[in-house]
Structure formats: C-alpha cells, structure tokens
Chains A and B, each alone.
Chain A
C-alpha cells in the first residue's frame, strides 16, 4: 500500500509541474497587455513628412511648421519619446525654448536615460541641473527617474508574474521554504514597483504641469491684471510649474520652490 501511495505522489508531482507551467503562461498573458506595439503606416508617413519639413527649414517660422507636424502626431494619440524629442528640437530651432522644455519633459518620460535629450533640455533651460523635480517619493524610489513610464509598468508586471510563479510553487510544494522566501521577496518587490508605477501615473496623468512660454511674465496674487504681483521677479520663459487651478483665462500655478501665483493662460503651455 505504501508503494502505491508513493507512485501516486510521483504522478501528482508531474501533474503539478505541468499545472504550474500552464498557470505561468496564463499570468504572462494577463500581465503583459500590449507589450508589443507597432508603428502604423500613417504615423510613419506623418513622421517622415515632419522630418522633411524640419530638414528643409531655415527660418524659425519654418521650424514652427515642423513643430506643428510633430504636434499633430502627438495629438493623434501617439505618445512617443521620439516624437516629443523631435518636437522639442523643432521648438528650439524656432527659438521658443519654453515650448521646447515642455516637449523635452514629455520625451523624458519615455527616454529618461537619453543623453542627447538631457543635453538639449539643459540648453533649453539654460542651466546645468535638468533632473526632473524630485519629491520624497522619487528619493525613496531611486529608480523613478531612471526607468521610463512604460518600463515601470513592465517591471511591475514581471515582478508580479515571478511572484505569482513563486506563490504557485509554494502552493504546490508547501514544504520548500526557499520558494516561500522568494515569494515574500517578490511580493515586497512587486508592491514597490506597483507603487512606483502608480506614482508615475499620478504625476504624469493626474497632475497637470506647465511651462511659461513668454518672456517676463508677471505672476499675480489674483486672477486679473489689477492684482498685485505675487513675486518680486517676473517669470522667465521656460519656468516650469504645476497647475493648481484654472479660472477663466487664468491659471493658478505653483513653482518648484512652492510659490504660488496666477498667470494668464496664453503665457504658458500645459502638459
């Protein structure tokens, strides 16, 4: 009888292995939605046309036209680091560094480790330190500005998938303590990466950012020209801010240092 029981356990182990593989496949299918994306032909044509306009441009007005073409691609829903990067270049050549800063910041979400982008952003901002504004979360999640927006989701998905696999192994082989430890480590890592991705979603999709696109914009204490200036100095083109509120044609903004003021909407771009 003992022998029979052993045989039975061996069969069960084989079954468990096959079962675990099936479950992993299922988890991967669940967790990697839309990992593989292709450029559609229409976008390729638009991209090439914009590049042609860029290449042939000689005056700032010509570069504005190129920027408009890249913007059209972005407006069609193509959120691409390459498109935003080229858009930023077009604005820089059009001598509109404020709009270029906005485009480069958008590009940075998808190309965070790109050195050329960093250089161009540094030129647009005219300062050495171009690291994205760092909050407490970004200090804790030290990889926050190193991984791109989608990469964080992929990393979280992989961590969740591996944790799931470890968890399944723990279910099937409850006496293997190594798997249990791996599952706990994976669970902690998954939680961190999910929080990191969620923070990106919050700061990129939930918050609205902006850049001043005119020289010497006066921020005021209220949403009208007759209010007193909010700061001693005027805002330069390229000044970055976070949008807090909007009333009519006026925006309530918060600068990196925490100062708040109202500026006319036409003096800034939002993203």
Chain B
C-alpha cells in the first residue's frame, strides 16, 4: 500500500514520526518531495500572488496480518508544535489459497562469515496456461505486467554492512524485457533507474524453465519458474533479513467457451528469510589477530632509520587487500619481544583509505644497542581458506646512537630549545603529543609589519640625510681657503705661546719672530694670502679691508712695529712691554676677525 503524509502550510518540517506502525505493518520509505509553490499573476494591473509551502512523505506499508487493522495517526514536529494526522482503518483480506503462483526465497549458504559471498534467490513459479496456450510463457499474455516487490532490489535501502556483488543496474539491467512482458519490479520506471526515453514501467523477464510441482489438489502440474538471483557479502557480523517479497497481478487460469484465456487476480507472498553472518572462530585465534577479515598484504615503513635514543620515529603499518578493514585494530607493539623495553611506543592512529588500513605509531628508541626493528606479526581471518593467516613485516635495520643527555625515559627536545631560545633538553609528559610546559614561552611572537616598515623608512631617510650632510661636508672640506682660515686661530695661539715662552727663556730673537709670525700669519691665513714678506702696513691694510675695528688695527700695528724695533736693540722694558701686549693684542685681533667675517 502506498501511504502518503502531506504537511501543508509549513516550512522546513522534520520528517513525520510513524509511531506504532511497526506493530502491524512493515514500513518502507519511498522518499519525499517538496510542495513549495509560488505564483504571481498581474491582470489589468492587479497583482495576485499565490504561495504554497509544504512537503510530502511517501511510504510503502505492507500488512503483517489479516483482519481489521488501524494505521495509526502520524505526527510531525513543526516549529516546536506537534501536528497529528488521522488514523485510518483498513481491512486486510487473507490471500486466497491458490496454486497459480508460488513464491519462495532461498539463501545459500544460510550462515557465512563476513565477506563470504552468499546468494539470495527469489523463485516465482507460475502455473502453465491452460489448453492450447500451455506452451506459451504465462507472463506474455497480461495486458499489464504483474507487480513484484523485491525489498533487496533497491541498493539505497540495503542495510548497512550488506554489499551486493553487482549493483542494481547491472543485476537487473540484463533482465530487462524491451517488449514489456515480465514482472514490473518495485515499480521501477524507465526514468527512475535506467536512462531510457520511454516513461512506462520497466519489465524484467528472467530466463524461465519448466518444472513440475504438485498443485493444490496434489496432482503434478507444469509450472514456469522464474528466478531472481543476487549475490551479497556482509562486511560485519549481523543477521540480515531478506523479504517478504510480494507479487500482485492477473494470471491466466482457464479458457472460456471460445478457448479464450480467463484471467484471475493473484496476490502471492514469499516469506522472509534470515541470513546469519558469523563472527570469526575464537578457537585457534592468534594473539596477533587484528580483526581484519579477508585477504591482505602487510607492509611496514619506519622513518628515520638513524636516530638517537629519545628521538621520535614513525612506524607505519599498512594492511591492503580485499576484506573488512574498518574494525581492524592496531597491533599492540608493546607486547612484541624486541620492542618491549627497547622502544617507548605511543598510541597508534588508525586510518582507512582506498581499501587500505594504516596504523601510524610514534616510537622513541630507549636502547642504543638496538640494531634491528623486529618483525611485527599481524593476523587476519581468511574466509576463503576458513582459517587465520599471520603475516609478518620484515625486520628493518636501524642505527640508534646514544643521546647526549637523557632525562628519564621520554626525552624530547623542547620546541623552544629547537627555536634557539634555550639549549636545554627538557622532559615533557605524555610523549609525542606532549605539550610545551614552560609558560614563559607563551609569549606573543606575532609580527606587526607596520613598526618594521616605519623603522626601515626611518633608517633609509636618516641615511639619506647623512649622505646629504656628508656630501656637503666633503664639499666644504675641499675649500682650502676655508680650511686655512679655520686653522688660523689655533696656529696663532700656538705661535704666540711659543714666542712668549721663548722671550721668557731669554731667546729674544726666536720669541720676537714667533710673536710677529702669530699676527702676520693670522692675517694671511684669514685672507688666504702669503705671509712671507708681509709688512706691518700691509697687514693693517688687509685688516682694514676686512672691516676690523681701527683700535684693534692700531694695536696690531703697534705690536708689529714693536717687534721690528726691539729686534735691533731692545731694552728690558721694551721686551717686558712686548711680553705684556702680545697676548691681549692677538686675542683682540682674533675676536675682531671673527666678528668681521
């Protein structure tokens, strides 16, 4: 029966709850569809908008018993409000005892291991047509094909862990009858399953064979038998139910007075059958059994092969092949002699991808004397051989050297140390996923480029300023006139001191010459003129040109004249006067020159 629950005027509803349905019915979902609709019409400028919101859920109900049955009211939650539909009473008539169609589901074998294939067969025996039509296929005479429901002929609704050998298209596709005779299975329409152009029920016609069965009167009768066979494998230990399968249609049962076939509507049911998927035997199960069932190859990879005690190593075990791998667990390496006590082993990570199961272990060698990583046994159950098979990885040569510092059994170079902040080796709790424990390392290391850019710009700008200043400096340094003038005061002071010291020491000639040179050279240096041969008059004239105060010029000239006169006959009083006047005269001259420039 098709059972439809429609939720109108709601948005985003949750699927309805069909509580109590399973008491009398087997419920199969047939999908859902949106009823959202929006239409805008403008007629003579008047706008009319129609909006409909809703969702429809379709189910197939199969009664489990005959009699007066009640389909309970469905409920649905919409925006926190519980909506309730109405209950429906129906009358289920018992199937009349008939011998026209006989259906049966068989499974072989009925108990298998995971991954061991088993075949489910739906046999439909249809009584041969009466009279002259007896040699005709009883399925070739209907105006409408009989409706056959095969629950396992829908891959999307197969229970979890049940894998068909071939998919639905390939299994049923080869049974399609293009003339439209045969069984209409699961109401498959051409657009639903196969991409054909016509839109009518697909019919399937397995190759029939004639057999003899007893009819309801106990007499042998000829039947045409049609068989739908499908092979499955189960990937987990469970009990799977196949069926019931139902058939409803009109079949030819007799001929009328003119030998024309008379049809009768027949409803037949094949009882459900259960298949038990057994767990692998406990007897003889090796300790290294990992839970994998099938047939596999084992490989191992260890990196690095050279390490120091305490260094992390990564071991990857890979199981690849055909079989169930999802439940396979990582072998306990700590139990393997040769690993226990010589390696610290951390919990493995497990991953299944592309039919391969990978176990990744983190290890740390504890013993520098180990030269070989031992073979690792991994056992699986081979269903074809019906026994456990143990595979071993080859032993891997490794080089372990002693670490410089060992602290306890787990020694990890702290990330901070690796980053250069500390050279200490520190122990961390827990192994490979050990945390950094030093809270001082929780310092903000983030980079804000802005201050760095400002710094870079500042340095560049500052360098440009320096370069500009240096060029100016260099240009000025190349001015010999300026250089000479700048050096003049120091030179004048030096000569003056030398002259005064000479006079003090009684070296009259030397002292007079130094004092005279102090004044003349000062003037000459200031105007970049030769000092040699400069007379007192010339010096005075140059000073006048520079705009030096007249009193200072007079004093300077007086000093030079005194020098000239005492050179040829000086009294002690003259020398004393020269000694007294020389320093203030030179100093006042310097001041005047600086002021004059």
Enumerate the 3 nearest inter-chain pairs by beta-carbon distance, A residue then B residue, closest first: A79-B446, A114-B415, A82-B441
Give the most central of A46, A82, A157: most B CB within 10 Å. Answer: A82
Complex alpha-carbon distance, A107 and B441, angstroms: 12
Establish whether residues A116 and B312, one from each chain, have CB atoms under 8 Å apart when the complex forms.
yes
Using CB atoms, name the residue of chain B closest to A149.
B447
In this complex, what residue of B is CB-closest to A26?
B462
Contact of B418 with A by CB under 8 A? yes
Given contacts A86-B435, A117-B415, A120-B432, is CB(A171)–CB(B442) below 8 Å? no
A-B contact count (CB 8 A): 175
- Residue of B351, B416, B466, B487 near A8 (CB, 8 A) is B487
A123 on the B face (CB < 8 A): yes
A243 interface hit (Cβ, 8 Å): no
Interface residues of B in 396-453 (CB under 8 A from A): 412-413, 415-416, 418-419, 428-429, 432-447, 449, 451-452
Band of interface residues on A: 35 or more
Quote the shortest CB–CB distance from A122 to chain B (angstroms): 6
Q: Please give 9 more A-B residue pairs, beta carbons under 8 A apart, in addition to A80-B444, A115-B413.
A: A5-B487, A7-B487, A37-B444, A44-B439, A79-B444, A115-B311, A116-B415, A117-B415, A167-B463
With contacts A77-B446, A117-B415 taken as known, whether A8 is within 8 angstroms of B483 at the C-beta atoms is: yes
Given contacts A27-B462, A116-B413, contact A39 B418 (CB under 8 A): no
Q: List 10 A-B contacts (CB under 8 A).
A: A1-B484, A37-B443, A78-B443, A80-B443, A86-B436, A115-B413, A116-B412, A128-B314, A148-B445, A160-B456
- The A interface, classified by DSSP as helix, strand, loop or mixed, is helix
Q: How far is the CA of A120 from the CA of B415 in the complex (A)?
A: 12
B34 adjacent to chain A (CB < 8 Å): no
Pair B435/A85 contact, Cβ less than 8 Å: yes
**Chain B residue nearest in CB terms to A167:** B463
| Interface set of B (CB-CB < 8 Å, partner A) | 301, 303, 311-312, 314, 349, 351, 353, 358, 360, 362, 412-413, 415-416, 418-419, 428-429, 432-447, 449, 451-452, 454-456, 458-459, 462-463, 466-467, 470, 474, 477, 483-484, 486-487, 490-491, 525
Which residues does chain A contribute within 8 Å of B441, judged by CB atoms? 39, 80-82
The answer to whether B445 and A110 have CB atoms under 8 Å apart is yes
**Which residues in A have their C-beta under 8 angstroms from that of B490?**
4
A34 located at the interface, meaning its Cβ lies under 8 Å from any Cβ of chain B in the complex: yes
* Option from B349, B437, B477 in Cβ contact (under 8 Å) with A123: B349
> Is A123 in contact with B443, judged by CB distance below 8 angstroms?
no
A39 CA to B439 CA in the complex, in Å? Answer: 8
Given contacts A79-B446, A93-B433, A123-B349, contact A111 B418 (CB under 8 A): yes
Greatest chain A CB density within 10 A among B349, B360, B438, B442 is at: B442
A243 to chain B minimum Cβ distance, whole angstroms, is 20
Which listed residue, A5, A111, A171, touches B483 by the CB 8 Å rule?
A: A5
Are B439 and A150 in contact (CB-based, < 8 A)? Answer: no
Q: With contacts A33-B452, A81-B441, A126-B358 known, is A55 near B429, CB below 8 A?
A: yes
Q: Does A113 contact B (CB under 8 A)?
A: yes
Cα A93 to Cα B431 with chains together (Å): 12
Q: Which of A92-149 contact B (CB under 8 A)?
A: 92-93, 97, 107, 110-117, 119-120, 122-123, 126, 128, 148-149
Provide the bound-state CA to CA distance between A228 and B300, in Å: 39
Query: What residues of A have a CB within 8 angstroms of the CB of B455 in the complex?
Result: 30-33, 157
- Determine the distance from Cα of A32 to Cα of B451 in the docked complex, in whole angstroms: 9
Given contacts A33-B455, A82-B415, A73 and B445 within 8 Å (CB-CB): no
A89 interfacial by beta-carbon distance below 8 Å: yes
Partner of A47, one of B439, B452, B483: B439
Which residues in B have their C-beta under 8 angstroms from that of A157? 452, 455
Q: Are B419 and A111 in contact (CB under 8 A)?
A: yes
How far, in whole Å, are A77 and B312 apart by their CA atoms in the complex? 32
> Separation in Å of the B20 CB from the closest CB of chain A?
34
A38 interface contact, C-beta 8 A: yes
Contact B418 A115 (CB under 8 A): yes
- Name which residue of chain A comes closest to B451, CB basis: A33
Known contacts A31-B456, A39-B439; is-contact A78 B444 (Cβ 8 Å) = yes
Q: Is A174 an interface residue (CB 8 A)?
A: yes
